[in-house]
Structure 1
Amino acid sequence: MQVIDDIAALNGTDVLSCRFEGLNFDGMDMSDYRFELCEFQSCSFTGATLEEACFVKCKALQADFSYARLSEARFEGCNLSLSRWVGSDISDAIFRDCKLTGAEFRDARALGVDFNGSVLAGAYLRQMNFRKCQLEQIDLSEADLAGCDFREATFERCRMQAAHLATARFEGADLRQADLGPLSFASAACFKGAIISKAQATELLRGLGVTVL
């Protein structure tokens, strides 16, 4: 893997198997760039333009994408744990099979974002709009989902154990294939208006001390 410590060393928009150490991409226009099998060590993309850029099997732990423009960007099989996306525009961006553990999306514009197949455990996703979305195989365990709009969304093989759900909306959401973790009367109140399975309803009743025969 080639180590690059000077942005001027970049040659073209297709970048393969490079390691970037401590580089500052802040404010740069990197639209349509394609990075594959690259590592970004302590790099910053604050305010950068990355519209329709593509990252494939890259590692960017703790990378800072705050206030970056990432509409229609694509991340495939990337490790983006503890990354920051504060105030960024990730509208219609795709994060497919990515690891986003502990990522912070505070105040991000995220209409149409696709997180399917990704791990967002412990991530900050407050007030994101997932209305009518098809959510597939997303790990939202312990994520901060306060104020999120999940109305009429469909959850398939998603995990939501111990997620923070205060003021989140689930009217018409289909949660039958979601792992909601242990259900109590208090936690079930967060899912008001949602559709749950018979097994989930039975577990809820057991949490209330009701025996189901």
Structure 2
Amino acid sequence: MTSRTFGRASITLPDLGGGYLSNVTSLESGRGTVQDFNYADADLRELDLANAHLITGRIANLRASRVQLIEVRVDSVEFDGCDLGNLQWVGSRLSRVVFKNCKFMAGNLSGLALDNVLFDSCRLDYSTFEKLRATGPPAFTHCVLTESTFTGCDLGAAVFDDCTLRDAEFGRGTYKATDLRGNDLTAIRGIGNLTKVVIDRAQQIELTQALMAELDITFGDDLDDPSLA
């Protein structure tokens, strides 16, 4: 199987069966399973899937104004150039899945188990990641996560690589061995929860700046400056 390496993590990519995929016009199936498929260029008002299983396929250029996915298992699937508006993805397992050039702005991903999942060059601004559980390494590379929130997550061994993390908040959770190297950490929030993460030595000053901003610290000599009164 093909893989990509980020820091110390190796992500196993989807095996799409050599490209022999059948074109489909819907991700719904009477049996609840769609396999060996190619779903492309759909423009939907709503996409609702529940208790479904997507196996070995590619979803490209899907645009939907509102998306709700409940207990949707995804194995060996690539999402490319998808814009999933008002995304609500709950209680699902994702294994060997790639999201490339996708947009989930203000999405809510809750109760997902992630096993070798890659977010590559995605817009995830203002999104909420709640109770994610990494059973295999997940990676975020070249992603925008401005004002996104992680809460109650187990992201041990996750990788963030060259991401925009401005005002991203890391709430209570497990981040042991989460790799934050290669990112600007000066404006992240929730510093006290990031115990045992991996950073570069040069990032120590960035974390210090972020902590000082979070604590709203005032320098003593600023108290004597009337312009700051």
Fold match, TM over 0.5? yes
Cα 1:194–1:88 change in 2 (3 A) is closer
Deviation, structure 1 residue 156: 1.4
Residue 125 of structure 1 aligns to a residue in which SS? Answer: strand
Cα 1:13–1:64 change in 2 (3 A) is farther
- 2:65 counterpart residue number: 61
Cα 1:187–1:164 change in 2 (3 A) is closer
Q: What's the TM-score once normalised by structure 1's chain length?
A: 0.73
Write out per-residue CA displacement over residues 135-170 of structure 1, whole angstroms, 9 at most, x where no aligned residue.
Answer: 311222222311223334332111222223222333
Cα 1:168–1:162 change in 2 (3 A) is farther
- 1:111 counterpart residue number: 115
Q: Is the 8 A contact 2:82 2:103 kept in 1?
A: yes
- 2:5 counterpart residue number: none
Q: What's the TM-score once normalised by structure 2's chain length?
A: 0.69
Cα 1:83–1:27 change in 2 (3 A) is farther
Cα 1:172–1:90 change in 2 (3 A) is closer
Which structure carries more strand by proportion?
2
Deviation, structure 1 residue 99: 0.5
User: How many correspondences in the alignment?
Assistant: 192
Cα 1:70–1:80 change in 2 (3 A) is same
Match of 2:104 among 95, 100, 106: 100
- 1:14 counterpart residue number: 23
- 1:8 counterpart residue number: none
Q: Is the 8 A contact 1:149 1:170 kept in 2?
A: yes
Identity among equivalent positions (%) equals 21
**Counterpart-to-counterpart distance in 1, 2:195 and 2:48:** 41
Does residue 190 (structure 1) correspond to residue 193 (structure 2)? The answer is yes
**Counterpart-to-counterpart distance in 2, 1:175 and 1:66:** 30
**Counterpart-to-counterpart distance in 2, 1:170 and 1:24:** 36
Q: Which structure exhibits the higher relative contact order, with contacts defined as CA atoms closer than 8 Å and separated by 6 or more residues? A: 2
Does residue 39 (structure 1) correspond to residue 39 (structure 2)? The answer is no
Does residue 149 (structure 1) correspond to residue 154 (structure 2)? The answer is yes
- 2:93 counterpart residue number: 89
